[in-house]
């Protein structure tokens, strides 16, 4: 017969075993819930990336690749006189690059020339060219006809906005100012509304790469639009999945914002205090990147990514495709959306912008070539 102390101890050991078993059951249950949540988030991310989508080719008859652009032309902006600016050589951690060791730059093309060609613009001394990593761009013409070029820059993968004065006679850019601000942690694109005033999109709330990935994976919708002036900086629109391209209507009444992972273009009314109020959302079936406005018609031209997974997981045997949309009468109940160009990557990979001028179409890409077409 066991001693009384042992008899008393046995129920305690059984109770402990039961507690441990219950703890393990709870842990397994929580792990199952976590795995289910991760699986659901992964499936949702694939849907947001349009990971299974393929495009049917829509060709344009009079196109050629632009010589001198080999490693991306992420954004393009065209002045009323036909001078087009190209932002080239963008690099990001994890993003493919055909020229990983070459700094970025700004190219210019005169679309009024019979055979336009791209030329690199000189940038004034004192500006750090070695770390120049240009992203979205925008131009502003002041009352005295001074042309300002605004460039989103990621030196060493940080976030700044560079303001230049364009000196046409010298084909050069004079650097005027570098803008940094805590409300600009992950700047993607910009639309200038004054000589030192702009709206900018933050495609993420965080600036840290891991937190950006987590933010995207969890679909937090924390991206926003910021208004900047020398006297005031403020968030004027928020709740985007990943705010990307931004532009302004020819009458300066509306701001257009592309939400790339939500496949949407948001139309926001601009007020005198520079705040924005959302009017409508246009839903599309593609990842919308940069937005360009035809000043004569108000039509929106959009560089799009039909399949975002191919864009970020680069495979030369199955490259990212390209797509250009034209949106007419976006303020109407039923805007007209036309696919102007589409390619499976055999000619152009990862289209990010499409800009028009006098019957000419320029299509830029995130990290590939650029296309010149006559419509």
Q: How far is CA 277 from the centre of its chain?
A: 21
Distances (CA, A) of 320 to 64, 236, 303, 312: 19, 33, 13, 9
Question: Checking DSSP bridges between strand 172-179 and strand 223-228, what pairing results, if any?
Answer: unpaired
142 is in an annotated binding site: no
Question: Checking DSSP bridges between strand 172-179 and strand 187-194, what pairing results, if any?
Answer: unpaired
188 is in an annotated binding site: yes
The closest of 105, 134, 136, 133 to 121, measured between CA atoms, is 105
137 is in an annotated binding site: yes
Kindly state the helix (H) or strand (E) to which residue 190 belongs, with its residue range.
Answer: strand 187-194
241 is in an annotated binding site: no
The closest of 273, 317, 326 to 298, measured between CA atoms, is 326
Cβ(330)–Cβ(312) under 8 Å? no
Give the whole-angstrom CA distance, residue 185 versus residue 250: 28
Q: Name 154's Cβ contacts closer than 8 Å, sequence gap at least 6.
A: 90, 91, 92, 133, 135, 160
189 is in an annotated binding site: yes
Cβ(225)–Cβ(233) under 8 Å? no
Annotation marks residue 62 as catalytic? no
The active-site residue out of 135, 263, 266, 305 is: 135
Q: Which residue has the tokens 């910009």?
A: 190
- Tokens representing 250 are 């020819």
75 is in an annotated binding site: yes
Phi and psi (nearest 5°) for 176? -105, -40
318 is in an annotated binding site: no
Task: Provide the H-helix boundaries in the chain.
Answer: 4-48, 209-218, 308-312
DSSP string, 73-134: EEEEEE-TTSEEEEEE----TT---S-TTS--EEEEEETTSSS---EEPEE-TTS--TT--E
244 is in an annotated binding site: yes
Per the annotation, binding residues for Ca(2+) are 74-75, 137, 188-189, 244, 289-290
Per the annotation, binding residues are 74-75, 137, 188-189, 244, 289-290
- Return the active site residues: 135
């Amino acid at each position: 017969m066991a001693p009384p102390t042992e008899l008393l101890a046995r129920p305690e050991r059984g109770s402990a075993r039961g507690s441990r078993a219950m703890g393990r059951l709870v842990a397994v249950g929580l792990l199952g819930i976590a795995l289910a949540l991760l699986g659901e988030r992964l499936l949702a991310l694939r849907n947001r990336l349009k990971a299974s989508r393929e495009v049917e080719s829509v060709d344009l008859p009079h196109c050629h690749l632009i010589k001198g652009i080999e490693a991306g032309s992420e954004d393009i902006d065209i002045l009323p006189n036909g001078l087009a600016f190209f932002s080239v050589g963008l690099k990001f951690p994890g993003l493919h690059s055909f020229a990983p060791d070459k700094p970025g730059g700004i190219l210019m093309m005169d679309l009024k020339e019979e055979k336009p060609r791209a030329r690199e613009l000189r940038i004034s001394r004192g500006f750090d060219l070695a770390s120049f990593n240009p992203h979205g761009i925008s131009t502003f013409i002041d009352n005295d006809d001074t042309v300002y070029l605004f460039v989103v820059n990621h030196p060493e993968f940080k976030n700044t906005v560079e303001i230049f004065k364009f000196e046409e006679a010298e084909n050069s850019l004079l650097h005027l100012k570098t803008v940094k601000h805590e409300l600009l942690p992950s700047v993607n694109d910009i639309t200038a509304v004054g000589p030192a005033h702009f709206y900018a999109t933050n495609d993420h709330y965080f600036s840290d790469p891991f937190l950006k990935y987590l933010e995207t994976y969890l679909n937090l919708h924390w991206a926003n639009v910021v208004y900047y002036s020398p006297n005031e900086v403020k968030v004027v629109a928020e709740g985007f999945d990943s705010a990307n391209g931004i532009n302004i209507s020819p009458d300066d009444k509306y701001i257009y914002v592309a939400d790339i992972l939500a496949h949407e273009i948001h139309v926001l009314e601009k007020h005198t205090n520079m705040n924005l109020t959302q009017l409508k959302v246009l839903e599309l079936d593609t990842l919308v990147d940069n937005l360009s406005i035809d000043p004569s018609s108000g039509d929106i031209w959009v560089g799009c990514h039909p399949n975002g997974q191919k864009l970020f997981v680069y495979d030369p045997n199955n490259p990212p495709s390209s797509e250009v949309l034209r949106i007419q009468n976006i303020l109407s109940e039923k805007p007209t959306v036309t696919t102007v160009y589409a390619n499976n990557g055999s000619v152009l990979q990862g289209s990010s912008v499409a800009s028009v001028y006098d019957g000419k179409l320029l299509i830029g890409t995130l990290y590939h070539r650029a296309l010149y077409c006559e419509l």
